[in-house]
Amino acid sequence: MPVVPSWIVNQRQIAAAVQKAAKALAPDVVRIRYKMAPDAIGEDAIFFRVLLSDRATREDKLFETTQRIKHKILDIVNPREKYGLEAYFTYRSVSEQAELKEAAWE
């Protein structure tokens, strides 16, 4: 019998947790998108794309802001403990997205 990764079974729970995290992190976080796929070494992973307000990406606060956001998402979604997923994060500002217009970030 094939083993089904837990993240496939629990996609609704993951979506609800990501939405909860985004609400908790507003107004710095405009939205969070994600994709579940194998990482570079073939392990199950979740890749978060976090769209930040321009204010949240000020250079003097960017590291602190991204660390706070990362820890909050990990705390609420808990991908490793609940679903066996390694988490990866990418951040972009609203201004960057307006210029790049990548559909995956919308």
- Among 81, 86, 83, smallest CA distance to 6 is for 83
Tell me which DSSP letter residue 3 carries: P
pLDDT in the model for residue 84: 87
Distance between CA atoms of residues 34 and 71, nearest Å? 16
How many contiguous H segments (helices) and E segments (strands) does the chain have? 5, 3
pLDDT in tens, 47-83: 999 999 999 999 999 999 999 999 999 999 999 999 8
The answer to whether the predicted template modeling score (pTM) of the entire model surpasses 0.85 is yes
Residue 42 phi, psi dihedral angles, 5° rounding: 90, 5
Q: Which domains does the chain have, with CATH numbers?
A: 6-105 (3.30.70.1350)
Q: What is the mean pLDDT of residues 75-102?
A: 95
- Can you give the pLDDT at residue 40? 96
